[in-house]
Structure 1
Amino acid sequence: MTIFAIAHGAGDAGWSWNLVAEALKAKGHTTIAPDLPTEDESKDLTDWATTLIEALPSTSDVVVVGHSFGGFVAPLVADRINAKALVLVTAMLPSPGEAPGDWWTNTGYTDSGLEDKFWHDVPPHLVEEAEKHERGMSETAMVKPWPLSAMPAIPTHFILCTEDRFFTPEFMRPVVTDRLGVAPVELAAGQLHLSRPTELAALLATYAT
C-alpha cells in the first residue's frame, strides 16, 4: 500500500481530492489531502509542507502529489521525507529562490482569454459543491522565495492536462522541459481533477510500484 500525500492548489481544499482518493482506495492505496493553511498570513510555504507531513500516518512508501500552486509545496514535502516519488499535476514548477508571485512573469505566462478556465469539463453538481470549499490565499505565500536549491533528487513526474484552459498545454510543455527536464505524461482533462478522477487515479497508481 502506498500513501499519496496531496498538496492542493490555491483557493482549493483537500475535499476536492475525494473522488481521486476513492479511486486510489479501490486500488489498495491511501490518500492524505489535508486543508493547507492557505489563508493564514503567519504561515509560509514551509509551514504548508509541515501541515501535510504532520497529517501522514507514516513517511515510508509515500508518493507526493502537487496540483497547480501545490507545485510549490509538494517538492518541499518530498524533500523532507525522502519520498518514493514526486508527481506534479498541471502544476507550477518553481525555480530556486523564486517567489510564487514572480512565477507568472518569469515563465512568460499569458492568459488564454477563455472565460471558463476551470469548470468547463466538471459536472455541474461537483462545481456547486466545490464552490462551497473555496478559500483565500495569503500574501505571505506569494512573496517569500521558494527555499530549495533544486528539485528533490527522487523520481519526478509531470502529468500535463491537454484540456487545461488555465495552464494550457502549449504553455506548459516548454515550461516542463525547461524547468523539470522530463517528458510529461498527457491526460485528456482540464485544470481540475474533479473532471477525470478515475483516469487521474489510474495514472497516479502507476507511480506506486
Structure 2
Amino acid sequence: MATYVLIPGAGGTAFYWHRVEPMLRERGHDVIAVDLPAGDDAAGLEEYADAVVDAIGDRTGLVLVAQSMGGLSAPIVATRVPVDLLVLLNAMIPRPGESGGDWWGNTGQAEAAARMAAREGLPEAFDLETRFFHDVPAQVKAAVFARGEAPQSGTPFEKPWPLEAWPDVPTRFLQGRDDRFFPVEFQREQARDRLGIGIDEMPGGHLVALSRPAELVERLERYRSELAGPGGR
C-alpha cells in the first residue's frame, strides 16, 4: 500500500481533501492531508515544503498529489524525501527562477480564463462560486463556506522558484476538463511547454476533490497501479 500525501492549493487547508481522504483509507492506504501555513506572512514555498516534509515523517511509498498552487511546493518536497509519484491536479507548473507572482502573466492565465468565460457566457467579473464551486454539491459547498475563507499570504508568490530543474520523479498531470480558472486547453499547453508531458482529463471543475472525489480516487489509484507494474498493489 502507498502513503498518499495530499497538498492543498491556495488557502492551504487540509479540509479540501475531506471527501478524498476516507476513500483512500478504505483502500488500505496511509493518507496525510497537509495544512499549510497559508496565513503566515513569514512563510514562503520553502516553509510550505517544510510543513509537508514534517507531516510525512519517516513514511515511505509516497504519492504526492498537489492541487492548484500546490504545484509550486510539491516539487520542492520531492527533492527532500523519496517520492514514488507526483500527481499535479489542476496545478500551476513553475519554471526555475520564476516567481509565483510572475507565473500568471508569463503563462497568460487571465487571458485564457477570459476566453473560456466569453465562450461559456460567464460574467466577466470574477465570482468565487461561479468560477470555483459551479459543480460542487450544495451541501459540500455549504460546509466549505461555513468554515470561512482561508487566508492566503502573498509571500509564496514573491521569490523565484528555488529549484534549478524539475525533480527526477515520475510525474502525471490530471486536469478537470470543466475547470473555469485554469482551462483545459491552457493546462495542456503549460504541461507540454514546461514539462514536456501530456495531460489526462477527467470531468469536473477546479475543485474536483470536492465535486468528484470517487472519480478522483479512481484516477489516482490507476496512476499508482501503473507505476507499480503488473501485479502491483
TM-score of the alignment, normalized to the shorter chain, above 0.5: yes
Pick from 215, 218, 222 the counterpart of residue 199 of structure 1: 215
Q: Distance in 2 between matches of 1:50 and 1:140?
A: 15
Confirm or deny: 8 A CA contact 1:98 1:146 kept in the other structure: yes
Give the corresponding residue for 1:28. 28
Query: Which structure has the larger Rg?
Result: 2
Cα RMSD, aligned residues only: 1.3
Q: Equivalent residue of 2:205, what SS?
A: coil
Give the corresponding residue for 2:166. 151
Confirm or deny: 8 A CA contact 2:12 2:37 kept in the other structure: no
Give the corresponding residue for 1:169. 184
Equivalent residues in 2 for 1:1-209, closer than 5 Å: 1-109=1-109, 110=111, 111-112=113-114, 113=117, 114-115=122-123, 116-131=130-145, 132=147, 134-192=149-207, 193-208=209-224, 209=228
> Comparing 49-58 with 170-179, which one deviates more in the overlay?
49-58
Letter in 1 for 2:153: S
Q: Which runs of 4+ in 1 moved over 4 A?
A: none
Any stretches of 5+ residues in structure 1 without a counterpart?
none
Q: Distance in 1 between matches of 2:86 and 2:151?
A: 26
TM-score by length of 2: 0.86
TM-score by length of 1: 0.95
TM superposition shift of 1:117: 0.9
Structure showing the higher helix proportion among its residues? 2
TM superposition shift of 1:18: 1.4
Confirm or deny: 8 A CA contact 2:46 2:76 kept in the other structure: yes
Q: Equivalent residue of 1:106, what SS?
A: helix
| CA distance 1:57–1:207, change in 2 (3 Å) | farther
Q: Equivalent residue of 1:4, what SS?
A: strand
Letter in 1 for 2:44: D
Q: Equivalent residue of 1:80, what SS?
A: coil
TM superposition shift of 1:58: 2.8
